[in-house]
Amino acid sequence: MIRFLQIFFVITIFCLLSTIIYAQDAGIEWEVFYQETTDLLDAGEYQRALKVGQAALEVAVKNVGPNHPSVAESLNILAEAYRSLGEYGKAELLLKRSLEIDEKALGPDHPNVATILNNLADFYKKLGEYGKAEPLYKRSLEIRERGLGPNHLNVAISLNNLAVFFCDLKEYSKAEPLFKRSLEIKEKVLAPDHPSVATSLNNIAELYFLGFGDDTKAEPLYKRSLEILEKVFGPDHPMLLEPLAGLMLIYSGTGREEKATEVILRYKKISEIQ
């Protein structure tokens, strides 16, 4: 099954950046606990991540006080652990507290504030609270555009995530220009053959195919996405499954049974390897 791919401000990357910025104040012990928490979240070990994350929070509060950005980072990562465990009320409170700290400590237009806004928007979207999510996505985008310029990679990430949000609401005409602008930025900042470019191509292809019902526009985009991913990851990587699924549906729907069978067999082969 194909789906629109949201590009999150990946928690591991963000945590590493924050650690570099704040470790000197919060201390090495906090840095170690914090990194371990991100690793456990990435591994899906949410209960352990929660315990280590709580330890990181305690160390941060002890070392730098309750209103320091390091505390906000700890709250942000703890919120992800609680969300993953289905404790949404606790996650929401922690995200809001994290946002409050960073807005006061760093200012309302700091990139960290944009990241927490995006995380809070993701949280509300997953709960189906779209009315709460939309203004947060938009504010996050505005902060990044003002602070980083219109062609920064983080702006591309925000554009993509807002476009995915509109796709979830089936507001495809709003999503299309956002996806296209995100793709344009990534092609300039990264490279035409970067995996993130492939993700954007796949999203635009899916928009045309499932949103607008236009397989003639979707097919070449799926193909280009597939070519990039094959070049970067090789012929049997699971990243290839998304564009293969799109091509499989297009070929089946347009009566090209030989091509459809070829793609189906390849899809199954990659799936069985995983």
pLDDT digits over 213-226, tens only?
Answer: 999 999 999 999 99
b/e string for 123-145 if b means 16 or more Cβ within 10 A? bbbeeeeeeebbebbebbbebbb
**Domain harbouring 197, CATH code:** 1.25.40.10
Number of domains, the chain: 1
pLDDT of 3: 64
Which residue in 190, 201, 266, 200 sits closest to 234, CA to CA?
266
Does residue 271 lie in a domain region?
A: yes
Does residue 223 lie in a domain region?
A: yes
Please give the average per-residue pLDDT across 147-172, as a whole number: 95
pLDDT digits over 143-157, tens only?
Answer: 999 999 999 999 999
Does residue 220 lie in a domain region?
A: yes
d(CA 35, CA 70): 13
- Given a contact cutoff of 8 angstroms between Cβ atoms, the answer to whether 98 and 60 are in contact is no
Domain span including residue 242: 190-274
pLDDT digits over 171-185, tens only?
Answer: 999 999 999 999 999
Does residue 118 lie in a domain region?
A: no
Q: What is the pTM of this model?
A: 0.84
d(CA 179, CA 153): 13
Does residue 82 lie in a domain region?
A: no
pLDDT of 184: 97
- Given a contact cutoff of 8 angstroms between Cβ atoms, the answer to whether 221 and 210 are in contact is no
The beta strands (E) that lie in the chain are given as none
Does residue 199 lie in a domain region?
A: yes
Does residue 115 lie in a domain region?
A: no
Is the pLDDT confidence value at 10 over 60? no
